[in-house]
Chain A
Amino acid sequence: GAGVSQSPSNKVTEKGKDVELRCDPISGHTALYWYRQSLGQGLEFLIYFQGNSAPDKSGLPSDRFSAERTGGSVSTLTIQRTQQEDSAVYLCASTPDHLNAAFFGQGTRLTVV
């Protein structure tokens, strides 16, 4: 597609439920990132995929968070047993390589009630 696509755009879930967030990067971009942004805050790095290398998971806040990227394209961020503090906008970005500009998706606004 023309840009980074994320789905759903909004997700409301009950505390304790699992959620899956999807990111479809720009075709041909080898690098894919997930960030979390709480209201009025900065961009918190979560995880980074680069080609076939092992992902950099150093930003994942707990073992309830996991992500995978299948076939070097679509990525899914999974949050298990959601907590209220997980409420935030989850942003995905892709780049052609690690030295170029990042293109962001519109984000998924997650609300845990």
Chain B
Amino acid sequence: GQQVMQIPQYQHVQEGEDFTTYCNSSTTLSNIQWYKQRPGGHPVFLIQLVKSGEVKKQKRLTFQFGEAKKNSSLHITATQTTDVGTYFCGGPTTSGTYKYIFGTGTRLKVLA
């Protein structure tokens, strides 16, 4: 079945350092979405990428969708303690019932 892997699983950074998480799907994705889950919270939608090669920015966050629509990345510039949480990529499968599947998540800790 379709699988979505994320690396790294965990990342500790000093405040002010950059951070990147990578999302890799075993098959082509219709679109890719990124979510952030704060400790003790629920996943909250950040952004959706649809087009091959698409790049979107939200303040210090930059999202990319690969040319083959099988991978994506999230880059945070100059991390802050408010960036702490787990970042999930996910999206609908391209066949069958189009259910949403999510990556394994990357847990980010920012040390002040």
Q: Which residues of A contact B (CB under 8 A)?
A: 33, 35, 40, 42-43, 45, 48, 50, 53, 56, 58, 91, 93, 95, 98-107
Contact = CB atoms under 8 A, between A and B. Distances in A.
Residue of A53, A98, A100 ringed by the most chain B CB atoms within 10 A:
A98
A107 B30 CA distance: 27
A60 to B, nearest CB: 12
Nearest to B6: A42
Contacts, number: 60
Contacts of A35: 102
Contact of A43 (B45, B92, B102, B107): B102
B92 A99 contact: yes
B96 to A, nearest CB: 8
A95 B48 CA distance: 13
B88 to A, nearest CB: 7
Interface size class of B (residues with CB under 8 A): 20 to 34
Contacts of A33: 99-100
Contact of A42 (B30, B31, B45, B104): B104
Given A45-B99, A56-B97, A101 B48 contact: yes
A42 B41 CA distance: 13
A22 to B, nearest CB: 16
A94 B99 CA distance: 11
A43 B92 CA distance: 14
Contacts of A50: 97-98
B101 A98 contact: no
Contact of A105 (B31, B42, B90): B42
A42 B10 CA distance: 12
Contact of A98 (B45, B88, B98, B104): B98
